[in-house]
Amino acid sequence: MNYQDPELRQTLAAEYVLGTLKGRARLRFEKLAAQDARLRQIISDWEQKLGTLHEGIPPVDVPEHVWKSIQKRLGFGLSDHVKPGLIGSIWNSLMVWRSLTTAATLALMFAAYLNLFAPTLVVNQYIAVLQTEQQQASWLIKSDLKNKQMVVHIVNEQTIPLGKAFELWMIKEGDKPISLGLISPDQQLSLPLSDELLEKIKQANVMAVSIEPAGGSPTGQPTGPIPYTGVVSKI
C-alpha cells in the first residue's frame, strides 16, 4: 500500500477520524502519523471538518416498531417469506439488518464527507461498507458508474484460511447472488464493470463476501460462510 498517495492519505485520515478505520490498520496508521507531520496535519484538518457535525443533535433511540415497519415495507423478515440457506440467514435476521443499516449510514456519511471536502474521490457511485456481525468494517466497495469500475478499499485487513479465498457477491432481493470475483484480504483492488453489471449493481440491495475454495465458488453461488455483508447505497 502506497501511503504517500495523496488520495489514499485523505481517505485513511477521514476513516481514522470517523472511527471506521479499526484494528491493525488503525494501529499502522497511527504509527505512520507519528512519523509524518504532514499526515498529522491532514488528520487535524479532517477533525476540524467533521468534529462539529454532531453538535446540537441529541441521541435518539429508534423504537422497536420502526424496525418492524422497515422490515415490513422491504418485505424482509416476514413469517411467510423465509428464504432457505446461507442467503436466507441474511434477509431474515433483524439483527443483521440493524447492523447493515448502521453500515449504510456510515457509508453515506463517509461518502458525503468525501464529496464535500474532496469531490474528486466520489462521483456518481454506489457504495457499501462490508462488516462483520460485530459491526467491524472490513471493506469499502465503491462502484464508479462514470469510469465503469469497482474499487475495493481495505478498511481492516482480514485473514483467510489456507486454501480458501474471499469472493464478493451482489444480491438483489428475490434473485440469486451474482459473483463479482475474488477480492484480497489485504490489498486494494480495481475491477472493471461491464454495462450489464453496472445495471445490476443499480438494483442490488446487498453486497456480501463468502469464504470459498482458492479458485472461487465451484457452483456459481456462495458455498461457504458469509461473514461480511453491507447495504448498497447510492451517492
pLDDT score at 121? 47
Are 165 and 181 within 8 A, CB to CB? no
* pLDDT at 88 (0 to 100): 62
Helix (H) or strand (E) holding 48: helix 37-50
Question: Nine-digit cell at 222?
Answer: 456462495
Give the residue from 133, 122, 126, 140 showing the smallest Cα distance to 12. 140
pTM score, whole prediction = 0.56
List all residues 6 or more positions away from 54 whose beta carbon is below 8 Å from its beta carbon.
none
70 SS3 class: helix
Instruction: State mean pLDDT over 143-157.
Output: 83
d(CA 167, CA 185): 10
Q: What is the pLDDT of residues 183-200, one digit of tens each?
A: 988 888 888 888 888 888
Residue 211 in contact with residue 161, Cβ under 8 Å? yes
Taking the C-alpha atoms of residue 18 and residue 140, their distance in angstroms, rounded to an integer, is 14
Nearest Cα neighbor of 96 from 171, 45, 44, 178 is 171
CA distance 210 to 136: 16
CA atoms of 9 and 65, how far apart (whole Å): 42
Residue 104 has pLDDT above 70, yes or no: no
Q: 51-69, pLDDT tens digit by residue?
A: 655 554 455 565 666 566 6
**What are the pLDDT digits (tens) for 18-45?**
777 878 888 888 888 888 888 888 888 8
Average pLDDT over residues 173-177: 85
Is the pLDDT at 78 greater than 50, yes or no?
no
Give the DSSP letter of residue 62: P
Chain-centre distance for alpha carbon 104: 8
